[in-house]
Amino acid sequence: MAASGNREVWWREARRNGLEGALLTCFVLLLSYGAAELGGMLEMRVPQPVWLLWPGCAVLSTILFLQPKRAWPVLLAAGLAGFVLYDIRAGLTISTIAWLLLTDACEILIATLGARSLFKENPYLDLGSISGFTKYCVFAVFLAPLVAATIGAYGPGASYWMRWQLIFLSEAVAFLTIPPAILGWVSQSEKQLVRWVEAAILMSGVTLLGYVISVASGPHIAPALFYALVPFLIWSALRFGPLGVSSSILVVAFLSIWGTIQGKGPFTAERPVQNALSLQLFLLCAATPFMVLAVLANQHKRIERALRALSGRLINAQEDERKRIARELHDDLSQRMARLLIRLERWRQGIGEMSEKSLAQFNAIVAMASEVSASLSDLSHLLHPGTLATLGLVPSIEALCRRFSEQEGLDVKFEYEDIPVDTPANVKLCVFRIVQESLRNVVTHSGAKEVRVTLNSTASGINVCVQDSGTGFRLGSVRKLGALGLISMRERAHLIGAQLSIKSEPGEGTRVSLQIPLKQPTLQATLA
C-alpha cells in the first residue's frame, strides 16, 4: 500500500511538472515570436531589410538566465521555433532561415553560458558592481554580438562590413538594455507607493520627450535635442539603477527607431545606411555611460548598506561588552566593596577606643570606600541601564537626568507625556543612549547650566527632544572633525528606523530631536 501511495504521489508530481513545463515551453515560443514581430516592426531597408534593434535573442537569453540548465535545450528549441514562425511569415527562404537560426543559437548560447558561468547560479546577474557589469558586457554585449555579426553578415546585397556593423550594434544595444530591464522588473520587490509614482513620472517624462524629439518633429531636426534626455537618464541612474536606465533607453530606442523609419527625427539624412548606423551608435553611446553610472550608484548603495550593517553589529557588540562589564562591576567589584565596608565596620567595633586622629583617618577611609562603591554602581548603570527592563523608559531617563544634575551641577528639567509602557527594548535603549550622549555633550562642550529633556508620544510614534541654551556649534565643522558622539547617535537612530535631527548655531544653543515611528517593521529587534 505504501509503495502504491508513493507511485501515485510521484505520478501526480510528474504530471504537474510536465504540465508546468509544457505551459512554459508554449509561453517561450509565443514570447519569442512576439519579440521577433517587435523586431520586424523596427526593420529598416538600407536598401536590404535590417533590424535596427533585434530583441529576440536578448529576450530568449533572459528567459534562459531565469531557468535551470536542464531546461535550456527545450526552451531554446521553443524560442528558435518562435523565430522560425516569424521568418516563414516574413517570406524568408529556407537557407536564410537556417543561417539565421545558426547565428541566433550561437549568440544566445555564448551570452547565456558565459554570463551564467561568471555569475554561478545567480539568475538575476550581479549588476550592482562594476566587476559584475564588466563580466556581463564581455560575454553578452561584446562576444555574443561579435560572433552573431561575424556569422550573420554573410549574404547578398550590402557589403559584409556594413552588414557586420549593423548586426553587431543591433545586438549589442539589445543585450545592454533588454536583459537588465527584464531581470530588474522580475526581481523588483519595491512596495512603496511613492516609489512607483516617481517611476511613473520618470517614464512619462522620458516617453513624452522622446516622442516630441523622434516622432512629432519633422525631418533633419538637430540631434542636440537629445541632450534634453540627459537629466532624465541621470535621474533614472541614481534613483533606479540599471533597471531605470535600461527601461528609459528602451523607450528612447523604440521611439527614435520608429521615427527614423517614418522619416522623422534627427536621423533622416539622405543615406539610409548612415542613418541606421548613426542611430545605433547613438543608442549604444547613450546607454553605456549611463549604465555605468547606474552600476556605480548601485555599488555605492551596497557599500553604504554594508557599512550600516557593520555599524549596527559594532553597536550591538559594544552594548554586549558594556553589559558584560556592567555585570562584572555590579556582581564582583561592587560586592567586594560592600564586603570591605562591612569588614571595616566590624574591625572598628572590635578594636575598642581609638584616638581622635586614628578615628578621623578611619572615617576618611570608610568615606572613600563608600564613594568608590557608589561610583562603581553609577558606572555600572551608565554602562548598562538595568532599570530599562525592570522599571521602563521614563524612570530610567528620570534617574539619568537626576544623576547629571547631582554630579555635574547641571539643571536638567525632564518632562514626559503618554509614553507607552510596551515600548520595544531596542527603542528604549536607543532613546536612553541618545539622551545620555546629548547630556554628556552639554556638560563637555555646551557650557550651558540648564537643559530641557522632553518625551512625548503621538499616534505615529515617540518624540524625544534635548535642548540647551549653550554656546552651540556649526554642524559643518563638527562633521569635518568626525565627532564620534554625533555619528553614534545617527547610527543608533538609523538602526531603529528613526529620524535624528540636530540644530545648532554658535551662540544659539543646540536642539537634538528624535522621531521614532513605532509602527515600522524595522523596530523588531536590532538592538537588544
pLDDT single digits (tens) 147-199: 999 998 876 556 888 889 889 999 999 999 999 898 888 877 666 788 889 99
| Phi, psi values for residue 91, rounded to 5° | 85, 25
Closest C-alpha to 330, from 383, 370, 368? 383
| Residue 283, C-alpha cell as written in the block | 543608442
Cell 520586424: give the residue. 40
Answer whether residue 435 shows pLDDT above 90.
no
pLDDT band with cut points at 50, 70 and 90 for residue 74 = very high
Q: How confident is the model at residue 330 (pLDDT cuts 50, 70, 90)?
A: low
Structure confidence by residue, pLDDT tens digits, 270-283:
677 788 888 889 89
DSSP string, 330-360: IIIIHHHHHHHHHHHHHHHHHS----HHHHH
Output the nine-digit C-alpha cell for 219: 525631418
Q: Using one digit for the tens of pLDDT, what is the confidence trace for 481-503? A: 556 677 778 888 888 888 888 88
Please answer whether residues 276 and 264 qualify as being in contact, where contact means their C-beta atoms are separated by less than 8 angstroms. no
Q: What is the pTM of this model?
A: 0.72
Average pLDDT, the chain: 80
Per-residue confidence (pLDDT) for residue 409, from 0 to 100: 80
Residue 16 confidence (pLDDT) above 60: no
What is the structure's pLDDT at 131?
Answer: 82
SS3 463: strand
Evaluate whether 326 touches 304 at the Cβ level (below 8 Å).
no
CA distance 319 to 323: 6
| 26 in Cβ contact with 85 (< 8 Å) | no
Mean pLDDT, residues 62-86: 90
d(CA 195, CA 221): 35
Gap between the terminal Cα atoms of the chain:
53
Half-sphere exposure for 182 (CA within 13 Å, toward CB) = 19
The neighbour count for residue 455, using CB atoms within 10 Å, is 21
Note if the bond before 385 is cis, omega within 30 degrees. no
* pLDDT mean over 205-223: 82
- Distance (Å, whole) CA 31 – CA 83: 10
Convert the pLDDT of each residue in 442-460 to its tens digit.
888 777 888 888 888 877 7
Task: From 88, 89, 78, 98, select the one nearest 32 (Cα to Cα).
Answer: 78
Whether the CB-CB separation of 421 and 477 falls below 8 Å is answered with no
Count of residues making up the chain? 528
d(CA 146, CA 456): 66
Nearest-5° Cα angle at 143, 140 to 145: 75
